[in-house]
Every structure is written in structure tokens, then in C-alpha cells.
Amino acid sequence: MTRPIGYFVHHQGRGHAERAAAIVNAMPQRPVTLFCARDDIFPPLGTHVRVQTIPSLFEAPADAAPALANVRTPTTLHCAPLGWGSITRAIATITQWFDTARPALFVTDVSAELAQLARIASIPCVSVLQHGDRDDAGHMAAYEAALGILAPYAPTLEQPGRPAWMLAKTHYAAGVGIDAATIGAPIEKAAARAALGLPASGEIVLVIAGGGGSGTPATPLTLGARAMPDAMWLTIGAVEREWHETMPGNLHHLGWVDCPATYIAAADRIVSSAGNTTVHMIAAAGRPWIVVPEWRYFDEQLWKARMLDAAGAAVMLDHWPAHGGAWAAAWARADALDLTRQRALVNRDAATDAASWLCTLADAAWAAPDVEILSLLPEQHA
């Protein structure tokens, strides 16, 4: 019997769903169940994949018990409120599936609590590792309990301070979740502009906001656009407007678009947040690039932006430019980037390699205990 794989997918933003879909679609011989609070955020999935919706683990239900709201949370947990019937139902759905499906692996992208739940339920787990200050007791318990760790970025972007035992069982999937066809063969700029109805000549600056926050502030962009009156500035994604901004005529807010990779290909320069999918799409294209991290739990985007800057792939700003001179200084640095360092951050085979690694872990975990098979497992922390 081929044991199935379970996969928890966080529903914030789009990156979790996009990389999960890419990986599970690359393992057509293995049944997969995706657990998520939303079933409408996934790209097309193979017939071997089903989505099991569960209540959100992070949004308070109407029946939450207010008297329990201030009960102290143990240091080994992050989001574990008491008296939420929605969490009770979600955990019951997952553990019942553990019992009936007897899965080979359970992947969490991301939840430290569910990684620990799988270990308690005697189910081998793989934890997805993201950037950020994640050396707290809750995260470290999840990583230590896991059979393996999946890092959806290039090893050159690994942040300092990870313990050796974590790195020993980490698989890097650089660029997983973006269209592999664009890696090594990006869309031509002229073709992208023609497809979007944009001018064939003239400079275009693209600003990309991620899907996990309230939006990129528009006011700093008005300053950047005014400082470059001969360039067209376009924004895609959510933009947060303010009453005191004075938008110049060369700045255009397009909102959410279905083809961000095409806009990236059409651009000459890019400003973005540091969301995982956004980072990989830009790196695949190779452009002068400014990264301004958005607020995220555990400083996830801050650390990713730091590592992009350290790798010479992008210019990180810790806050939005407040005047035209600051924009000019940032662009001078971005124009000097070696774009080959960006393209080295993505791997066309990231999804198939990650799928193969997961299936190898799954098969080895349940095989007869001979030395050859055990050698396939990552080194465990003693």
C-alpha cells in the first residue's frame, strides 16, 4: 500500500498554497490531502490531490469563550487560544484523518502546533522553514520533532544561527511555487509589454505588494515617481492610500492582476516586499531591485530582505524613502547589482526535487529497518 501524504497549508497570502501545489502536483503516484481553511487559493491540482477544508486556526469564531482569552500560553506554543470550537473541529478533522489514512508523512506549511500534534499522534512530520527569528521554544520543538525540514529558498539565503542539527535535515527548494518555464527562459520584455498593452519604449518601474498585509503605502511611491518624471510607475497588489498624497500623472495603481510574472518581465526596475513567491518571480527575471520588507510575524520579511541584500541580489531598505534623494541613492545601488546572483536563487527543478525528497522520506520511514534505508533519513538531533 502506498501511504498518503497530508499537507497543512496556511491560508494567509498565496505563497503557501502555490508552493504546496507545485510540490504535490509533482508526486502523481502518491495520494495527497491538503488541509486548509480555504479551497479557492490553490492553482490547478492533480487528480491525486484533494483539499479538505478545516476551520481557521487563527481567526476567532463567534463561540469563543471570552473568560478564557487571557489564560497564559505556554512558551512551546504560539497560537493556541482556549475555548475556540473552530480549533477543536480542525484538530478533530486532522487527527481523525491520521487514524483512518495512516499517512506516511504530514507536512506543515506552516504551524508549529500542528507539527507537534503530528509527533504526539505518532505521525512523521516535515516542517516548512521560513526566514525570521524562529529560535523560540515553539518553533524549535517543531523542528526537532520533524523527520525533515523543507526550506523554500536557496541555501545562499539561509540566515545565520541555524543549529547544525537543523541544517543536517533541511532540504532547500529554491524558487518552488513559481512557473518553472520562466526560470532560465524568462518572458522577453518586448513581448510582455505587447501582451499588456504597455508602451514598447520608455522606462517602467514596477512596484509589487504582497498578499499577506494591508498594502504598500502609496505616499512614498508618489515621491519616487515625481523624482523620475520620464518613467512610468505601475503598482500591482494592494496599495494603502493616504489623504495627503499628491499622485503624479506617471504613477498608476493597477490593483490585483492575474499575470504578475508578465508585469515583472515588462519592467526595467522593480520595488517589492519580501514575500516568498514575489522574491522568486523577480529573481527569475533579473532586474535592478529594491526590497522594502513588510511587517510579518517573527520578522520573516525583514530577515529575507537582509539575506537578499547580503547575497548581492537586491537592495534592502529598512523603511520607505521619504524624499526623492533617498530614492535616487537606492536606485544607484540597485543599478549596480549583478543580476546573475538573482537568477542563481531559483531552480527549475525545485518542485520535482522537493517531491522526490518527500517521497524518499516517506518510503524510508516505513521500510524495514536495514542500514541502507535508514541512511536515506536526515541526521537526527541527539
Beta bridge partners of 206: 234, 270
Q: Assign 3-class secondary structure to the chain.
A: CCCCEEEEECCCCCHHHHHHHHHHHCCCCCCEEEEECCCCCCCCCCCCEEEEECCCCCCCCCCCCHHHCCCCCCCCCCCCCCCCHHHHHHHHHHHHHHHHHCCCEEEEECCHHHHHHHHHCCCCEEEECCCCCCCCHHHHHHHHHCCEEEECCCHHHCCCCCCHHHHHCEEECCCCCCCHHHCCCCCCHHHHHHHHCCCCCCCEEEEECCCCCCCEEHHHHHHHHHHCCCCEEEEECCEECCCCCCCCCCEEECCCCCCHHHHHHHCCEEEECCCHHHHHHHHHHCCCEEECCCCCHHHHHHHHHHHHHHCCCCEECCCCCCCHHHHHHHHHHHHCCCHHHHHCCCCCCHHHHHHHHHHHHHHHHCCCCCHHHHCCCCCCCC
Tens digit of pLDDT at every position of the chain (382 positions) = 689 999 999 998 778 999 999 999 999 999 999 999 999 999 999 999 999 999 999 999 999 999 999 999 999 999 999 999 999 999 999 999 999 999 999 999 999 999 999 999 999 999 999 999 999 999 999 999 999 999 999 999 999 999 999 999 999 999 999 987 777 777 899 999 999 999 999 999 999 986 656 679 999 999 999 999 999 999 999 899 888 889 999 999 999 999 999 999 999 999 999 999 899 999 999 999 999 999 999 999 999 999 999 999 999 999 999 999 999 999 999 999 999 999 999 999 999 999 999 999 999 999 977 645 445 555 544 3
* Kind of pairing between the strands at 251-253 and 170-172: unpaired
Residue owning grid cell 518553472? 180
Query: Which domains, from first to last, does the chain contain?
Result: 5-178+347-374 (3.40.50.2000), 182-343 (3.40.50.2000)
The pTM (predicted TM-score) of the whole model is 0.93
Residue owning grid cell 512558551? 75
If one counts every other C-beta atom within 10 angstroms of the C-beta of residue 9, the result is 26
